[in-house]
Structure 1
Amino acid sequence: MNKIPESILLREPISKGVDRTWEIYKIHFQGKTKFQDMLIADTAHGVTLFCNNERQSSELSQLAYHEGQVMPALLSMPTLPKTALVIGSSEGVAVKILQDAGVEHVTHVDIDEECMVACGEFLPYGYTSEEIIKYTSAGSDDALKIIFADGKEYIRSLLDKTTRYDLIVMDIPDEGPETESLYNEPFWHEVKSLLTPSGAFITQAGNSSLWRYKTLKKSYDRMKKVFHHVTYFEVDEQDWVWLVGHVGDVELSIEQMQTKLIESKYNPQHIDAVSLSRSVIAPKVIRTPC
């Protein structure tokens, strides 16, 4: 892959016929892994990770995104999970938040070792290179274990075993041709079978804006068919929505979630009691039947 000139304007697809343009100031890393094209560069949002020309995270917004990736589940579950499985999330920020919140054992599965290693070396957030080496060699009883594998295949490898998780987190790109098999009902039924009786599954599920909401609505409707109930969660400071599928029948009120927020060992910077009360209300376009 040829080196990108320092003055390039990178075009990121947003929706059909709509792009977002990023000015690249300085390139820290560029390469093609077995699975994707990678670019880590300085932008107006600080050090920014792009995969296949799509912004994955940046210094400016990464914490808002990753708090959204895990906190909605932690706040809407009846009790704090002791075990968690994280699929994707190469940067490692979501894992660190789970640990800070008090989750005792986390298994982190990511398909792209080269991507994770580059993130550890060049991103100023998430795992360090030393942590990646340490946690990759950790044992199953350690607080954190990194495994380089296909997340879907890893899930399926556990279906005939007794392993169960209190929480499963899926942090992968938006639904599209390459990821649609990770957003369908059959796969989510497999995920559900690996959860404990009061467990939960959280996934990034798209964007609620009128020009992008269709995949989110499909995911919302599908998840309601698979899980006992679904918690919708949208963080104002960034682009994405998360859906939490709950196995058990305990559905917490907003007041109960606000209490859990106050009691949380991890104090989020982008979620408070006021924003939480509106974050869990899906917009009309999502709630309206097709």
Structure 2
Amino acid sequence: MLAELGGIDPERLDDAELLRAALSESLVGAGAQVRQIVTERFSPQGATVVAVLAESHASVHTWPELGGMHVDVFTCGDAADPVAAVHDLARRMGATETSLQVVDRGGIPRTVTEPISEGLTRTWRLGPVHTSADTGFQRVVVADTAHGVTLFCDDERQSTEQTQLTYHEALVWPGALLTRRLDRVLIIGSSEGVASEMAVEAGATHVDHVDIDTECVRICAEHLPYGYTPASLAAAERGDGPVHLTYTDGRQFVLDSDERWDLIIVDLPDERPDEPDAQINRLYEQEFVQACADRVTDGGVVVFQAGSPAVWRDATLKSAWTRFDAVFGATGGRAVYIGCEEHEWAFLAGTPSDPGEPGEVAATRLASMPARPETIDETSLRHRLVAPLSLRRLTG
């Protein structure tokens, strides 16, 4: 735990014995075992206090001239709560400003700090951690959060118990409604298995699910309360039923295949334009979008997870929109925007041939489907499939 405390009386920050007592009492109150404390006062002002703990160590360094102090509390195990210690120390010192940063150093993580955009992160406080593993492809964490059981991959939230249905229905249903027929479906990524099962509910009789990360898929089946169960995953791995799961590189699977699907869904972590060599970027390139377009049946549809429509983080969405317009517009088809007001993400569908007005086509077909989504109806389809003006301006 790293903290900056501000707005403190300079005299208190120059009192080494006061600092010693305040740090000791805060640590003990938070469950730490204090073994030894060393203090050092500097000239002309300032002090450092270091505490040796059974759990590790803690230290403070003060700048009276600035009215502030830096605090570092490093603990191992679960007995001591460094956050509680810092908050109590801030109270004892009379701080009016408190800035905390929790850094996990080995063991089970207590927080996940998710990158959002340049200079902006989101911190998830974790409850019980169900599993934390390095799969060889990514670091996977499944833990309880304020949104229920949550899946993180490389510190990015992938899905949560509270919001996954909204996300997955926006991913699967519009494409399922736009395709001329829904029999054969290919899904790349989407490790939780929700999309595969949802495609079957929508009427698909054969779903090829391709994922490169075997361990991640099995972790999801074991620990998430949605998507595959261990039993349904085992059946998919055997090809016993409508879902056939293959563990391989999704990009190469498509490039090597001469099969055709009515609907292809690509559901992957976000494109990483700031990491040009990241392997994930290869599945967002125009070449791969074109390969998917070449492998749908007449009247088929390609759907990609495409990033956020928020104006301050929509760069990847704009790039994807331009690619889709280039690929599908070249054959007389079109790129179709799929919005989801109740979630942070947007999706893109590509149709090699023009299906007509997408929202109206999807809304009309919904009545004839064997099932209905819970978060989408005819009215929402008519407006969700209208691209924001910023995207429409990009491609005229």
TM-score bracket relative to the smaller structure: over 0.9
- Could you tell me which residue of structure 1 aligns to residue 382 of structure 2? 277
TM-score, scaled relative to structure 2: 0.69
- Could you tell me which residue of structure 2 aligns to residue 180 of structure 1? 281
In the alignment, is residue 103 of structure 1 matched against residue 204 of structure 2? yes
**Per-residue Cα deviation, 1:119-147 (whole angstroms, up to 9, x for no partner):** 000000000111111211126xx521100
In the alignment, is residue 191 of structure 1 matched against residue 311 of structure 2? no
- Could you tell me which residue of structure 2 aligns to residue 164 of structure 1? 260
2:133/2:141 contact within 8 Å kept: yes
**Per-residue Cα deviation, 1:160-201 (whole angstroms, up to 9, x for no partner):** x3x111111100011113222211211111111111121110
- Aligned-pair CA distance for 1:274: 2.1
Give me the whole-angstrom Cα distance separating, in 2, the residues matched to 1:289 and 1:82. 34
SS of 1:219's equivalent? helix
Give me the whole-angstrom Cα distance separating, in 2, the residues matched to 1:113 and 1:236. 32
SS of 1:40's equivalent? strand
In the alignment, is residue 66 of structure 1 matched against residue 171 of structure 2? no
In the alignment, is residue 145 of structure 1 matched against residue 221 of structure 2? no
Of residues 84, 107, 110, the one that matches 1:3 is 107
1:76/1:231 contact within 8 Å kept: no
**Per-residue Cα deviation, 1:195-250 (whole angstroms, up to 9, x for no partner):** 11211100000111011111101110110110121111111111111100012233
- Could you tell me which residue of structure 2 aligns to residue 36 of structure 1? 138
Q: Report the residue type matching 1:101 in the other structure.
A: A
- Aligned-pair CA distance for 1:87: 0.2
Give me the whole-angstrom Cα distance separating, in 2, the residues matched to 1:202 and 1:215. 15
1:25/1:43 contact within 8 Å kept: yes
Give me the whole-angstrom Cα distance separating, in 2, the residues matched to 1:130 and 1:253. 37
Of residues 243, 246, 268, the one that matches 2:373 is 268
Of residues 119, 135, 146, the one that matches 1:17 is 119
2:359/2:386 contact within 8 Å kept: no
SS of 2:394's equivalent? coil
Give me the whole-angstrom Cα distance separating, in 1, the residues matched to 2:107 and 2:371. 40
- Could you tell me which residue of structure 1 aligns to residue 253 of structure 2? 154
Give me the whole-angstrom Cα distance separating, in 1, the residues matched to 2:338 and 2:226. 24
Identity of aligned residues (%): 39
Of residues 224, 242, 245, the one that matches 1:123 is 224
Matches within 5 A, 1:178-257: 178=278, 179-227=280-328, 228-257=333-362
SS of 2:191's equivalent? coil
**Per-residue Cα deviation, 1:249-271 (whole angstroms, up to 9, x for no partner):** 33245333212123222211211
SS of 1:289's equivalent? helix
- Could you tell me which residue of structure 1 aligns to residue 40 of structure 2? none
SS of 1:66's equivalent? helix
1:169/1:203 contact within 8 Å kept: yes
Of residues 178, 181, 198, the one that matches 1:76 is 178
Give me the whole-angstrom Cα distance separating, in 1, the residues matched to 2:254 and 2:186. 10
With over 3 angstroms needed to count, the CA separation of the structure-2 counterparts of 1:3 and 1:266, relative to structure 1, is: farther
2:268/2:305 contact within 8 Å kept: yes
- Greater RCO between the two (CA within 8 Å, min separation 6)? 1
2:360/2:381 contact within 8 Å kept: no
Unaligned segments of structure 1, at least 5 residues:
none
SS of 2:195's equivalent? helix
Q: Report the residue type matching 1:2 in the other structure.
A: G
Q: Which one has the largest radius of gyration?
A: 2
TM-score, scaled relative to structure 1: 0.93
**Per-residue Cα deviation, 1:85-115 (whole angstroms, up to 9, x for no partner):** 1000000000111000111100000000000
Give me the whole-angstrom Cα distance separating, in 2, the residues matched to 1:18 and 1:137. 43
With over 3 angstroms needed to count, the CA separation of the structure-2 counterparts of 1:198 and 1:283, relative to structure 1, is: same
- Could you tell me which residue of structure 2 aligns to residue 86 of structure 1? 187
Give me the whole-angstrom Cα distance separating, in 2, the residues matched to 1:249 and 1:275. 21
1:237/1:270 contact within 8 Å kept: no
